[in-house]
Amino acid sequence: MYPKTLFMGHEKAIMYPKTPFMGYEKVIMYQKTLFMGHEKAIMYQKTPFMGYEKAIMYQKTLFMGHEKAIMYQKTPFMGHDRFFMDIETSAFRVRRGERRGRNARKRIVRISRQRRKHCNVPTGCGR
């Protein structure tokens, strides 16, 4: 599957299906552009394509301050209720009163707005 348009930052996606198209067991995605700071993402799933049970993502650049993020979700990918992260460094290191960068306050406001949605994804979970 070689999409012409970007699928969430991917330019090339290699998929190994076990069942028909909506029921992959293993999806390996390589991307040329950055997808939330990732260069390579390996995703394992038990349920169909939009409902991962476990996704392991390795990134070379910093993604909100972590080097490695392990993500578990129970409900489908675009509208999940829970999103757990086991991280080596603290996730939200910038406090509300601090200003470290140009848009530190904007980033804090955006994180707190996503927290009100019960979702830890900085780009939103599509609800």
Residues in the chain: 127
Contact of 22 with 48, CB cutoff 8 Å: yes
How many domains are there within the chain?
A: 1
- In a domain? residue 109: no
The reply to whether 35 falls in a domain is yes
Phi, psi of 110 (to 5 degrees): -70, -40
Q: What is the rounded average pLDDT of the residues 90-112?
A: 44
Q: Tokens 């070689």 correspond to what residue? A: 2
Structural domain including 72 reads 12-91
| 13-38 average pLDDT score | 42
Percent of the chain's residues with pLDDT above 70: 0
87 within a domain of the structure (yes/no): yes
Angle at 100 between CA 97 and CA 84, to 5 degrees: 75
pTM of the model: 0.12
pLDDT at residue 64 is higher than 50: no
40 confidence band (pLDDT: 50, 70, 90): very low
| pLDDT classification of 126: cutoffs 50, 70, 90 | low
